[in-house]
Structure formats: C-alpha cells, structure tokens
Amino acid sequence: MDHPKKLALVGAGGISCHLLPILSHESDIVLIDGDKYEPHNSDRQFPALAHESHGVNKAQYLTGLQHRHTLKELTWLPYYMEGASIVNHPEFEGVEMLVGAVDNNQSRKIICDVADMLDVPAILAGNETNVGDAHLFLPGVYDPFEHHDFGPMTKAPFSCTSTEQLEKEPQTTQANFLAASCAVHILMSWRTVSDHKYVTVHSQLGGRSGAQSSRLLDLKLPDPETIFA
C-alpha cells in the first residue's frame, strides 16, 4: 500500500511525543487531544518541562513544536475523540489512516469504530509499565478486539491515559518509546509488503519478553488473497 497521505493521530501524550516527529516527515497530520499539559506530565512528556506549556492544550502545543521540523501540513483538534462526530471537523478531511496513542480501551474502541465507518485502517499503540505494543485494525478483515484481550472496558475519561490505568500500570518514557516503535513497525509493514497476507497485525516489544509479532497469515482468518482481491 502507498504511505497514507494524511493521518489522524489520536492522543498527544508520551507515545505521540515519539510518534509525531516520525510520522510528520511523510504524512500530513491532524493531532487530536482534549487534554492540557500539567507539571506532573513532565516525567514522560517533554513539552511539559516548559512552564509555558502548562495549561495549554497538548495537541496545540505539540503541533507547534513540530511545525518547524517538517514540510507537511500539521493541524490539531483540541477535543477528546468521543465518537464519530469528530470526522465532521474540516481538519479531519482526507484522513487515510488513524493512529491511536491512547491507553484506555473505550477510546481504542471508538478509534476502531471511526476507522470502520471511514473504511480506513487504524493502528492502536499502547503500553504497560515495561512493554509496548501496537495492533492493526482492518475494516471487515481484522479487529484486534476479537483476537486480543485488552482487559475490561474501563470507564475512562477520553484522555490519552486514564487515571485508573495510570494507577494500575504506571507508565515510563521507555515503554512509551517501545509502543511508538511498534506502531512504526506496523506502518512500515503496511507500506512495504507485496502481499497483504504478510502484513503485521500485532507488534510487541518488552524488556523481558523481547520482540514478538503476528502477521495476518498467522491467524485463522478468511483467505487474505480473497479479501484483498
């Protein structure tokens, strides 16, 4: 597949601090997040180290930092992705792939629902304390919620990370980086495989578990050659 000309990157937290500089070199980006930077974010999100960022919308501030480092178009939406209505904003027009950098399952499911509605793929990146992973959602072909146990659908705010999740699985900047790397791995697979049955649908990196990945071919699904015919 061709590289997506425009991506919607959902969540402007620790994972997106690593992802945005990479993704924005080849794609236009609309960054989506309703959160604001607070001093306690500074342990994993470098923009929060600047006092001037405190109280400023994360998507707005992080986009502003990246503008000078890319020739691609960067826009931002200061909203939580609470449902399909997000696509009605003009900044969302032309999106060919969604990338979720969120760590609550409610938001992940909404990202998949929106991708399904638009008939575009989505990558879901997330991490635990010492492990990062990413999943590929393909409308009508592969839904990671049907093949992977994400845990309970916690009632979370639509921020990139819920308070409950932070208390259960404290995050580290290293794990954020691993999650971003897994998302890039899946995106590279999507771009480069000559036969879609070889596309990577799950990528995981961990300090103890090492590197693991699964391809569409490895799963018991309908014949990929028939699906993509």
pLDDT digits (tens, 9 = 90+) for 33-50: 998 866 555 455 555 445
pLDDT digits (tens, 9 = 90+) for 108-118: 999 999 999 99
DSSP H helical ranges for 12-104: 14-23, 58-66
- Of residues 36 and 21, more confidence is placed in 21
Residue 80 contacts by C-beta under 8 Å, 6 or more apart in sequence?
A: 33, 34, 107, 157, 158, 159
Q: b/e per residue, 117-143, with b = 16+ CB within 10 A?
A: ebebbbbbbbbbeebbbbbbbbeebbb
Q: Is residue 157 predicted with pLDDT exceeding 50?
A: no
Q: How far is CA 171 from the centre of its chain?
A: 16
- The domain limits of the chain are 6-227
Q: Is residue 144 predicted with pLDDT exceeding 50?
A: yes
Q: 94, 103, 106, 150: which is closest to 126 by C-alpha?
A: 103
Please give the model's pTM, rounded to 2 decimal places.
Answer: 0.85
Torsion region of 11: left, alpha or beta (phi above 0 gives left; psi -120 to 50 gives alpha): left
Query: Which superfamily, per CATH, for 6-227?
Result: NAD(P)-binding Rossmann-like Domain (3.40.50.720)
pLDDT score of 194:
81
pLDDT score of 61:
85
Q: Answer yes or no: are the C-beta atoms of 98 and 107 closer than 8 Å.
A: no
Q: How many CB atoms are closer than 10 A to CB 226?
A: 8
Write down the mean pLDDT value for the chain: 83
pLDDT score of 162:
45
pLDDT digits (tens, 9 = 90+) for 165-209: 444 555 688 888 899 999 999 999 999 988 878 999 999 999 777
